[in-house]
Structure 1
Amino acid sequence: VLQHVRLPLLSPKFLVGTVGSDLLVRSDDACRDLVDEAKNYLLLPQERPLMQGPRTRPRKPTRRGEVLFAVGGWCSGDAIASVERFDPNTADWKMVAPMSKRRCGVGVAVLNDLLYAVGGHDGQSYLNSIERYDPQTNQWSCDVAPTTSCRTSVGVAVLDGFLYAVGGQDGVQCLNHVERYDPKENKWSKVSPMTTRRLGVAVAVLGGYLYAIGGSDGTSPLNTVERYDPRQNKWSQVSPMSTRRKHLGCAVFNNLIYAVGGRDDCMELSSAERYNPHTNSWSPIVAMTSRRSG
């Protein structure tokens, strides 16, 4: 219950004298960590932009429901910085604040209710910079630490409170590098690399594992799939897809991973397939009505 209380917004006197001195709180490691988090927020005002989360932001009486963001991309021969939001309740798109940089091939994920835009290409250079969007304030911030490598066509996902950047390319070569971001430390750390270099890779999280699906090794599209176990810091191969795909889409639904579209050696694809981790097998599903990659 205490994790849902906005302890950092309490007065220092009440936090230390009442909450911190409570016997139940003092006897529980997790509760003490929450109190320490609140103390750090109060004692280090210059670090507060890096400590934002559900326990520090105002709770506005906004309508509940998920929305969809379209972030950056390529239009009219150049990378773009614009961002749009789709509300399924009203079935309309609206422009929100643009990023500070134009980004195509950008990786996007949500961590702690904040939207992260990772790397990409601005039309001239490969990027390692990160921007973070707060939908409560409609503002992007650029105080997130950069990745150790410039990356475009990068896969991004969230697992166990960390933001992962997987593969991509840096303008020189296709990458197998993987690193993860700790929002509490504002720091990226390298983890074990993939066994295969992958750009245009799709990533998904299921059952406590991070999956890297398809992509290209810089020469040919791939049908291979590998997954990362954060407990062992190790990648291992799982069953390959039936079709080689780069720049594909993927999603998790009902504990199955869906791989959709993409491009093989010759053309964009309309086919789709899904992965069952219990049987370690892929099976085809009905194709889309249009071919898609991107």
Structure 2
Amino acid sequence: MGVYNEQGDSLQEPESSPMVVKAAGGASVPQQGRPGPLALRREYCRVPSRDVFNHSMFVVGGWTPEDPSCLVEQFCPEYNEWRVAAPMVNRRGNVAVGTLDGKVYTAGGEDSLRCYSNVERYDPHTGVWSVEIAPLSCPRSGVCLLEMDGYLYAMGGSDGITASSTVERYDPKMNTWTKQASMLSRRTRAVGAVLDGHLYVMGGSDGTMVLNSVERYSPEDGSWSVCPPMRSPREGAGCAVYLGQIYVAGGRDELRLDLAAAERLDPDTMRWSIVKRMRSKRSNVSLAVFNGALLAAGGSDGVTNLKTIEAYDPENNAWRSSSETLQKNNSSNSGVILDISTLKIAEGDSGVPPLPPRYRFRDLLLGDQTLQNDDR
């Protein structure tokens, strides 16, 4: 199956290197090419959770309507356009992406038949992907990947048969993954955050039910402890640390219904409180802090793939519609997805061209441009 942009140009992808068979029914630099948005539709692609690229944005991997993708697209603010960057070596969706020491790491993921354990690393300065990175100890799709204290932590995920509770930590100096204390629950498609020297992991699915449970990892003694549960069970939610608290919004519940509900955890009182519902239901939404504002971008409401952005007003406990949208609708009902790669927008008043069409947005990171909000 070929992949093409809006102009009809073929976008070639290298062959993937699958690792393990899934159970049946389981789920460079930028090219100086044609300006304008890239039209490849992808589901469960990723956006790195931290901004390290000096006014750049990358969209990594994900699913096209038929196949997983290895394509990487970069927004170049100096030209105010999207360009094709060096592709990953392996095609995969539901891949975890994290940043460490100014580089992007992709870990795990899946194609239509297999889950992956391999890890790749992208250097934005050379535009080269390296596969000389130690693999995870086991295949993990829907894994939660977070950076803390100079290490990458990979938590949970699924091998295509069973959700996992295991945790491993990557040491970039030794190029090794070492097992850490397992989580208290099996989780795939959970969300996580780093706050006050602790790792928090929330929600997800244990393979049987959607979870509202929360646990926290302390690197000092290497142990997990139970935290107060969220008010709503969720998988595929958005998560961000904002004003010293952990916000979780959207996702899907145990009935597979898309959610608009939002809540936040105060680490001082360890209590969850309800936040005003978003204006739209959004599963696989990106939640990010941008220019001092908390944004919810894209996602799916179960019927439509959304292109809209909402900004949270903490003073009035209200979500406001943004005057910016992510991508024009077309006859294919394309929306936007970023499921872990990095969004950073350059300073200035100029807008950014529409993002490459995606189905859903997750773990979106924006920076350094004022986003005009209104109540429309």
| Equivalences, count | 232
State the shift of 1:154 in Å. 0.5
Q: Is 1:140 aligned with 2:129?
A: yes
**1:256–1:85 CA distance, 2 compared to 1 (3 A):** farther
Aligned to 2:269: 279
Contact 1:153/1:168 (<8 A) preserved: yes
Aligned to 2:174: 185
User: Any idea what SS the aligned residue of 2:230 has?
Assistant: coil
- Aligned mates of 2:82, 2:262 — CA distance in 1: 27
1:25-174 maps to which residues of 2 (within 5 A)? 65-86=54-75, 92-174=81-163
**1:158–1:213 CA distance, 2 compared to 1 (3 A):** same
From 246, 270, 281, the equivalent of 2:260 is 270
- Aligned mates of 1:199, 1:162 — CA distance in 2: 21
- Aligned mates of 1:86, 1:256 — CA distance in 2: 30
State the shift of 1:283 in Å. 1.7
From 219, 225, 228, the equivalent of 2:208 is 219
State the shift of 1:75 in Å. 1.6
From 236, 244, 249, the equivalent of 2:233 is 244
Q: Could you list the structure 1 runs, at least 4 aligned residues long, displaced by more than 4 angstroms after superposition.
A: 87-92
Contact 1:101/1:122 (<8 A) preserved: no
- Aligned mates of 1:104, 1:153 — CA distance in 2: 9
Q: Runs of 5+ in structure 2 lacking a partner?
A: 1-52, 285-376
- Aligned mates of 1:225, 1:66 — CA distance in 2: 34
State the shift of 1:89 in Å. 8.0
Cα deviation per residue 1:6-59 (whole Å; 9 max; x = unaligned)? Answer: xxxxxxxxxxxxxxxxxxxxxxxxxxxxxxxxxxxxxxxxxxxxxxxxxxxxxx
- Aligned mates of 1:271, 1:85 — CA distance in 2: 32
User: Any idea what SS the aligned residue of 2:68 has?
Assistant: strand
State the shift of 1:66 in Å. 4.3
- Aligned mates of 2:265, 2:55 — CA distance in 1: 25
- Aligned mates of 2:258, 2:80 — CA distance in 1: 28
User: Any idea what SS the aligned residue of 1:81 has?
Assistant: coil
Q: TM-score, normalised by structure 2?
A: 0.59
Q: What is the one-letter code of the residue matched to 2:133?
A: V
**1:88–1:200 CA distance, 2 compared to 1 (3 A):** farther
Q: Is 1:290 aligned with 2:317?
A: no
Q: What is the one-letter code of the residue matched to 2:194?
A: V
User: Any idea what SS the aligned residue of 2:283 has?
Assistant: coil
Q: Runs of 5+ in structure 1 lacking a partner?
A: 1-63
Which structure has the highest helix share of the two? Answer: 1
Cα deviation per residue 1:42-97 (whole Å; 9 max; x = unaligned)? Answer: xxxxxxxxxxxxxxxxxxxxxx8443332111121221111223467876543321
Aligned to 1:203: 192
Q: What is the one-letter code of the residue matched to 1:150?
A: P
From 158, 165, 185, the equivalent of 1:176 is 165
CA-atom RMSD in angstroms:
1.9
Contact 1:102/1:123 (<8 A) preserved: no
State the shift of 1:254 in Å. 2.2
Contact 1:261/1:272 (<8 A) preserved: yes
State the shift of 1:163 in Å. 0.4
State the shift of 1:127 in Å. 0.3
**1:94–1:246 CA distance, 2 compared to 1 (3 A):** same
**1:138–1:272 CA distance, 2 compared to 1 (3 A):** same
State the shift of 1:241 in Å. 0.8
**1:278–1:89 CA distance, 2 compared to 1 (3 A):** farther
User: Any idea what SS the aligned residue of 2:69 has?
Assistant: strand
State the shift of 1:170 in Å. 0.6
Q: Is the radius of gyration larger for structure 1 or structure 2? A: 1
**1:284–1:93 CA distance, 2 compared to 1 (3 A):** farther
- Aligned mates of 2:277, 2:84 — CA distance in 1: 31
- Aligned mates of 2:188, 2:258 — CA distance in 1: 16
- Aligned mates of 2:78, 2:250 — CA distance in 1: 27
**1:88–1:250 CA distance, 2 compared to 1 (3 A):** farther
State the shift of 1:257 in Å. 1.2
